[in-house]
Chains A and B, each alone.
Chain A
Amino acid sequence: MTPRPLTEPAFLVLAALADRPRHGYGVIGEVEQLSGGRVRLRVGTLYGVLDRLAAEGAIEPEREEVHAGRVRRYYRLTGAGRQVLETEVARLEANARAVRGRLAVRPA
C-alpha cells in the first residue's frame, strides 16, 4: 500500500527535528523559519502533531532540561521518522520534477 502523504504541519515538524533535537518552542520557531514565515504552528496544533508522530514511532523524547523552574522536553527524530521524511521528500521532489518538465514546454 502507498503510504499516505504527510500533512504539511507533520512534514515541517519532522523537518524541524532532522538536524538536531528541539523542544516545543524551538520546533515552532524552526517550522516558521523553514516555511519562510508562512507557517506559524499553534501550540495545540504542534502537540496534536507530536502526539500522532510519537504514537507512530516517528519521534521520541530525547532529554529533559529545567528552564526557569520548569521542565523543558526535547524531541528527536527516530530512524523510522527519518525514513518517513526521506520518503516524503522524494515524493515531493518527483512531483516537482514532473511539473517542472511540463512547465518547460511552452504551449503553441
Chain B
Amino acid sequence: MSPLEERYRRLLRLLPEPARSRWADDMVETYLAAATTDDPEYAEFGSPTPADRLDVLRLAVRLRLGAPGASLRAVAAGRTVRLVALTGGVALATQGAIGLATTAWVHGLVPGVPAPPLPGPLVAAPGAVLAHAVDVLLVALAVCLVRGAATARPLAAAALIGLVLATTSRLGGPSAVPAVLSLVTCAVTLLAAVLVPAERVPRRDRWLVAVPALVTLLAPVVATAGWVAARPLDEPGPWLLALGQPTGWWAVALVAVAAAALPRPSTTAAGRLGVAVLGVALLPSLAGQLALDGVAGYRAVVVTGLVLVAGTVLLAGASGARRVRALPAGDHA
C-alpha cells in the first residue's frame, strides 16, 4: 500500500458504516486513479487535497443525516435535524416578520395605519439595518424550508453570518450577554438548516409549521393586551412580561408538546430528539432573560422556565436515545 493510499484510507474513516464498507475500497481506487494518472510518483509523496477532504466531509455529513441508502440510525438523525430546522426556522421567521411589521408601523409605512406617537425622533440601534436584513432572510428561509427549495441552505448560511455580524455590533453594549445567548439559540436552528437538504413539508406535517408560527404570534398579542389593560403607572407582572416575548411562549410550547408527545409510544425517535435539541437551543435565550432584572419576581419566573425546559430536554433526550439505540446500526432504511 502506497503512502498516498494509506492517507486516503485514513480520510475515508470519516464515512459512517455501512457506507464505508460498501464504498471505501472503490473510492480509494478512484481517488488514486485520478491522482496518479498524470504523475505516478505522486503515490509516494502526495496527499489528499483540501478539496478532497472537504468533499469526503460533505459526503460523511450527508450519510450521517440519512441520505438514501444510509442506516436507520442515520435516517433518524436526519429527521431530527430536519425537524429542528423546520420548526425553529418557522419560529425565527415569524419573530422576524413581527419585527419587520413593527418597524414598518413605527415609521408610518403601513398603509391605513397611523404611526404611534413617539416622544422623540427615531434613532436606529447599532446593527439595526443588518438585523432587519436578517429578518428578511429568515422569512425567505422559512418559505424555502416549507416548500423544500434547495435555496434554503445558502439562505440559512447567509442569515447565520448576518446574525453573527449583527450580534458583534452589540458587543460592549448593555445587552451584549442576552444578544450572544440569543445568537446561540438561532445558530442551532440555522446550522440544522445548513446541514440538511430541505424537503417539501407533506400536508400531514403542516402542523409543524402552524404551531411554531402561532405560538410566536402569541407574544405580541399578550404584550399588546397587557399594555392596553395596564394603567400608566402599573408595572407589568413577571408572568405577563415573560409571555410578552417569544422566548417565554417557546418554553411553554416546548414543555406542553413534550408532555403530550413523550408518553405516546407512537412518537418517533426523531420527534423525541427534536424536542430535546430544540430545548437545548432554547436554554441560552432563556438564560439571557436573567439579565432583565427590572421587574420584581421576573428572575424566579425565568428560573422556573429554565428548570422546566432542562427537565424536558433530559426526558426527551433520554427517551429518544433509547429509541435510537433500539434501531439496528447497520441496516439500510
Contact = CB atoms under 8 A, between A and B. Distances in A.
Using C-beta atoms within 8 Å of the partner chain, give the interface range for chain A. Answer: 20 to 34
A43 to B, nearest CB: 5
Interface stretch (B62-70, B115-123, B156-164, B236-244): B62-70
B67 A48 contact: yes
Given A24-B26, A24-B29, A71-B29, A43 B34 contact: yes
A28 interface: yes
Contact of A43 (B30, B62, B68): B30
Contact of A44 (B5, B55, B69): B55
A72 to B, nearest CB: 5
A46 B33 CA distance: 14
B332 interface: yes
Interface residues of B, number: 26
A24 B51 CA distance: 18
Nearest to A61: B26
Give the interface centre of B25, B51, B52, B55 by most chain A CB atoms within 10 Å.
Answer: B55
Contacts, number: 73
A52 B68 contact: yes
Interface in A13-30: 23-25, 28
A12 interface: no
A50 B23 CA distance: 9
A73 interface: yes
A82 to B, nearest CB: 19
Interface string B42-75: 0000000001100110110011000111000000
B207 interface: no
13 contacts: A23-B30, A24-B27, A24-B29, A24-B30, A25-B30, A42-B55, A48-B59, A48-B67, A55-B68, A70-B5, A70-B28, A71-B26, A73-B25
B19 interface: yes
Contacts of B26: 23-24, 47, 71-73
B29 A55 contact: no
A74 to B, nearest CB: 10
A59 B62 CA distance: 20
Given A28-B34, A47-B59, A52-B68, 8 more contacts: A23-B30, A25-B29, A42-B55, A43-B55, A44-B55, A44-B56, A48-B58, A54-B69
Interface string A49-63: 011101110000000
Contacts of B19: 51
A95 interface: no
Contacts of B31: 43
A48 to B, nearest CB: 5
A67 interface: yes
B29 A70 contact: yes
Contacts of A56: 68
Could you say which of B5, B58, B68, B332 has the most chain A C-beta atoms within 10 Å of its C-beta? B68
Contacts of A43: 27, 30-31, 34, 52, 55
A46 B22 CA distance: 14
Nearest to B51: A42
B195 interface: no
A87 interface: no
A54 B19 CA distance: 12
B55 A45 contact: yes
